[in-house]
Amino acid sequence: ASSLQEIIKASSYIGRDDEFANDIDWNNLGFGLTPTDYMYIMKCGRDDEFKQGQLNRYGNIELSPSAGVLNYGQGLFEGTKAYRGEDKRLFLFRPQQNAIRMQIGAQRMCMPSPSTEQFVDALKKTVLANRRWIPPPGKGSLYVRPLLIGSGPILGLAPASEYTFLVFASPVGNYFKDGTAPLNLYVEDEFHRSTRGGAGDVKSITNYAPVLKSLSRARNRGFSDVLYLDSVHKRYIEEVSSCNVFILKRNVLSTPATNGTILEGITRNSIIEIARDLAFQVEERPIPVEELLDADEVFCTGTAVGIAPVGSITYKGNRIEYKTSNQLVCLRLYSRLVGIQRGIIEDKMGWMIEI
Ligand code: COI
């Protein structure tokens, strides 16, 4: 009940007359952090049960210097987006899929995790409390970032004794700094993102800092992002630092199979379903890097990224260019997805959860 009162307090703070935050330029949202009003926090002690969480004002959190997450990287994150429909209703895109992925990741990282119901409830409360930060239709979305961290103190290597589930949100627009311009990818031939038997298939925080070196190096050379190859054969494409990858050849759409080294993106899975619905043949399989040479289209998918067409790929000093136009198949798939997310196209799959 106290949580419900929090929500009522939060929505009266927002006020129906003041539906949008006014200290923000909705036409120029990138992917920078804009702090919002509230975050949700729920804790779990030694009994491995998450108890009732609550909304707090957004701000710094207190952690022991010996927290498991700070010392041994015991942490997971998720990402989903909330949208404003044309009719003022508010929606989250497939949050149950994030809940399930966090539960699978938590098993891998020896952490307890919130139930799907607790997870979705926390996301709804966070979005509702921050609703004035959800961009107007067509201007962007409210990116919702759930975290699960080992917050209990620890010294020897072991799972932490306490866990914190936290959800915060930020309004966002395009992920890449050049907006919707086609990406120029660099194929990394020194570092790998993930190894067999590692944790590349879960959204562990430990998968992200190790790619920063490749990413910064590539960005300094003018590339948008990095495409990684598998670590065994150094031949099969895996994923990009912040998103999955697809290639199209005639009517066949292919994406690397999730064999333990690739993150099973929710946008990836949604695009597979949309493409099959539109009569494309979809294959999840190992894709040798040479196949990039004669692909008709290459594109990236992710929650933060959406769908981003690839304009060029550079591998061992050779640059392959792809045609770009507004007739690309990937843009057709994307407009289907965006149409569902904005409530313009019928949501036959039941992906949108009204808040
Ligand atoms: C997302 O797409 O939501 C992600 O988690 C990727 C992140 C690197 C921004």
Q: Whose CA is nearest to atom 6 of ligand 1?
A: 242
> One of 81, 124, 125, 203 is an active-site residue; which one?
203
Q: Does 207 sit in the ligand 1 pocket, CB within 6 Å?
A: no
pLDDT of 2 above 50? no
Q: What is the mean pLDDT of residues 185-193?
A: 95
pLDDT of 293 above 90? yes
Cα of 347 vs centre of ligand 1, distance in Å, is 24
Q: What is the mean pLDDT of residues 299-309?
A: 96
Q: What is the mean pLDDT of residues 245-263?
A: 96
Cα of 15 vs centre of ligand 1, distance in Å, is 31
Q: Does 303 sit in the ligand 1 pocket, CB within 6 Å?
A: yes
Query: Does residue 323 carry a catalytic annotation?
Result: no
Structure confidence at residue 87 (pLDDT):
78
Q: What is the mean pLDDT of residues 160-186?
A: 94
Structure confidence at residue 22 (pLDDT):
83
Query: Is the Cβ–Cβ distance between 298 and 266 less than 8 Å?
Result: no
Q: Does 205 sit in the ligand 1 pocket, CB within 6 Å?
A: no
Question: Tokens for 295?
Answer: 């692909």
pLDDT of 16 above 50? no
- pLDDT grade, residue 12 (50/70/90)? very low
Cα of 303 vs centre of ligand 1, distance in Å, is 6
Average pLDDT value for the chain: 93
Cα of 169 vs centre of ligand 1, distance in Å, is 13
Q: What is the mean pLDDT of residues 326-343?
A: 93
Mutate to test the pocket of ligand 1, among 92, 305, 337, 341 (most ligand atoms within 8 A of CB): 305
Structure confidence at residue 1 (pLDDT):
39
Q: What is the mean pLDDT of residues 36-57?
A: 94
Q: Does 302 sit in the ligand 1 pocket, CB within 6 Å?
A: yes
- Tokens 């709804």 -> residue: 124
pLDDT of 309 above 80? yes
Q: What is the mean pLDDT of residues 268-289?
A: 97
Structure confidence at residue 7 (pLDDT):
53
pLDDT of 68 above 90? yes
Structure confidence at residue 15 (pLDDT):
43
Distance CA 61, CA 226 (A): 33
- pLDDT grade, residue 46 (50/70/90)? confident
Distance CA 251, CA 245 (A): 17
Structure confidence at residue 137 (pLDDT):
87
Nearest atom in ligand 1 to the alpha carbon of residue 242 is 8
Q: Does 265 sit in the ligand 1 pocket, CB within 6 Å?
A: no
Q: Using DSSP, how many helices (H) and how many strands (E) does the chain show? A: 7, 17
Mutate to test the pocket of ligand 1, among 148, 239, 242, 337 (most ligand atoms within 8 A of CB): 242
Cα of 198 vs centre of ligand 1, distance in Å, is 19
Cα of 155 vs centre of ligand 1, distance in Å, is 30
Strand partners, 98: none
Q: What is the mean pLDDT of residues 195-211?
A: 96
Three-state SS letters, 88-99: CCEEEECHHHHH
Question: Tokens for 65?
Answer: 């210097």
The reported pTM is 0.93
pLDDT of 5 above 70? no
Nearest atom in ligand 1 to the alpha carbon of residue 305 is 2
Q: Whose CA is nearest to atom 7 of ligand 1?
A: 242
Structure confidence at residue 6 (pLDDT):
56
Q: What is the mean pLDDT of residues 260-286?
A: 97
Distance CA 50, CA 191 (A): 38
- Tokens 């790929």 -> residue: 313
Instruction: Phi first, then psi: give them for residue 2, nearest 5 degrees.
Output: -65, -30
Q: Does 244 sit in the ligand 1 pocket, CB within 6 Å?
A: no
Instruction: Phi first, then psi: give them for residue 313, nearest 5 degrees.
Output: -135, 130
Structure confidence at residue 3 (pLDDT):
54
Question: What percentage of the chain exceeds 70 in pLDDT?
Answer: 95
Q: What is the mean pLDDT of residues 21-26?
A: 88
Q: What is the mean pLDDT of residues 54-74?
A: 97
Alpha carbon 11 to chain centroid, angstroms: 27
Nearest atom in ligand 1 to the alpha carbon of residue 267 is 2
Q: What is the pLDDT of residues 105-139, one digit of tens each?
A: 999 999 999 999 999 999 999 999 999 999 988 89
